[in-house]
């Protein structure tokens, strides 16, 4: 198989497995990203997420993750739900957390793709990544033409908006490379204007330490009093900057049964949230991303927005 045929194989396997888009870029040092990442960390925008300072070199150089790497395959997997469960009179969680944890769902797909690739091409060295290793997924997705990085720092796609997961396979195959597309944000500042905690201080830069998702998921201590009253009803993550983005009017419901919310989650009332027990937590959020906060963290978030 030549590189054209191998590239065609990768993209058709990705489509068969339900990935919305697949793009490929050369595995090389992310020169443009290095100063940006350094500056972002220096400004303290990582908050208490000190792990983002680790493996600085590996974040920028895929050949340190996969020796001999030649290509980064970037993939997009839709999670936009058929029904938005967020309502003004109930407590809300981010759409990505409605169903089973994407780390399991998408990683299963990636492993299958990689195995099928090896079956048809022969010996391929590589690794699969779903947001769990030092890989700058948006930078690679942008290089591979999956979309552009919006002012809220999320990857945007003209046909699908931004409600999707990104994933990568780094391989030692020389493939045919795609190129980046232009930025279509224009003069729009809807995401910046809508953020209640001013977490987007300038276009394309998010202060992670001010983001509602950071406070409700990453922060392990008490939420600072100065942001009291700014979260609306968000108790796990936040979709505000995505919900207001004009490009998300093109989002289409996903076709992944594992991302569907269970009946218990769909029928949770505000009182049930407030009185949540260990038993209910385990039942409703079995295999869910919400387990990351543990029950105590979720209760802390609920108290913060309701008391």
The C-alpha atoms of residue 195 and residue 193 are separated, in whole angstroms, by 6
Strand-pairing partners, residue 126, are 171
Residue 207, pLDDT score = 97
Q: Extract the tokens encoding 139.
A: 């930078």
In 122-167, which residue ranges form alpha helices assigned H by DSSP?
137-143
* Sequence-distant (≥ 6) Cβ neighbours of residue 66 within 8 angstroms: 27, 125, 126, 127, 170, 171, 172
The C-alpha atoms of residue 161 and residue 252 are separated, in whole angstroms, by 9
Residue 75, pLDDT score = 98
| Whole-prediction pTM | 0.95
Handedness of CA 205, 208, 211, 217 (dihedral sign): positive
User: Which residues carry out catalysis?
Assistant: 131
Q: Extract the tokens encoding 147.
A: 């979309």
Residue 153, pLDDT score = 97
Domains and CATH numbers, the chain: 3-82+95-171 (3.40.109), 190-249+261-306 (no CATH)
Residue 1, pLDDT score = 86
The C-alpha atoms of residue 73 and residue 287 are separated, in whole angstroms, by 27
Q: Extract the tokens encoding 301.
A: 């978030």
| Phi, then psi, of 88 in degrees rounded to 5 | -65, -25
Residue 51, pLDDT score = 85
The C-alpha atoms of residue 187 and residue 162 are separated, in whole angstroms, by 18
Residue 167, pLDDT score = 97
Residue 131, pLDDT score = 85
| Phi, then psi, of 222 in degrees rounded to 5 | -65, 145
Instruction: For the chain, list residues with pLDDT below 50.
Output: none
Residue 201, pLDDT score = 96
């Amino acid at each position: 198989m030549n590189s054209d045929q191998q590239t065609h194989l990768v993209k058709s396997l990705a489509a068969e497995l339900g990935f919305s888009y697949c793009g490929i870029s050369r595995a090389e040092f992310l020169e443009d990203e290095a100063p940006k990442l350094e500056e972002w960390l220096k400004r303290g925008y990582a908050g208490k997420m000190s792990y983002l300072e680790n493996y600085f070199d590996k974040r920028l150089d895929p050949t340190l993750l996969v020796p001999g790497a030649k290509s980064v395959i970037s993939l997009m997997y839709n999670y936009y739900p058929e029904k938005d469960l967020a309502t003004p009179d109930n407590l809300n969680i981010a759409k990505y957390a409605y169903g089973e944890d994407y780390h399991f769902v998408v990683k299963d797909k990636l492993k299958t793709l990689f195995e099928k690739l090896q079956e048809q091409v022969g010996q391929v060295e590589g690794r699969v990544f779903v947001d769990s290793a030092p890989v700058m997924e948006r930078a690679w997705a942008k290089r591979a033409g999956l979309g552009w990085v919006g002012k809220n720092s999320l990857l945007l796609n003209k046909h699908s908006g931004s409600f999707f997961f990104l994933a990568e396979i780094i391989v030692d195959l020389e493939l045919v490379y795609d190129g980046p597309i232009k930025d279509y944000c224009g003069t729009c500042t809807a995401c910046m204007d809508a953020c209640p905690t001013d977490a987007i201080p300038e276009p394309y830069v998010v202060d992670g330490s001010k983001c509602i998702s950071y406070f409700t998921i990453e922060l392990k201590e008490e939420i600072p009093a100065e942001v009291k009253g700014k979260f609306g009803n968000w108790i796990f993550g936040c979709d505000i900057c995505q919900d207001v983005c004009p490009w998300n009017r093109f989002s289409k419901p996903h076709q992944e049964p594992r991302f569907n919310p269970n009946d218990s989650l769909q029928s949770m009332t505000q009182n049930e949230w407030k009185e949540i027990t260990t038993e209910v937590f385990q039942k409703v959020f079995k295999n869910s991303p919400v387990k990351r906060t543990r029950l105590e963290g979720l209760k802390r978030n609920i108290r913060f927005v309701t008391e």
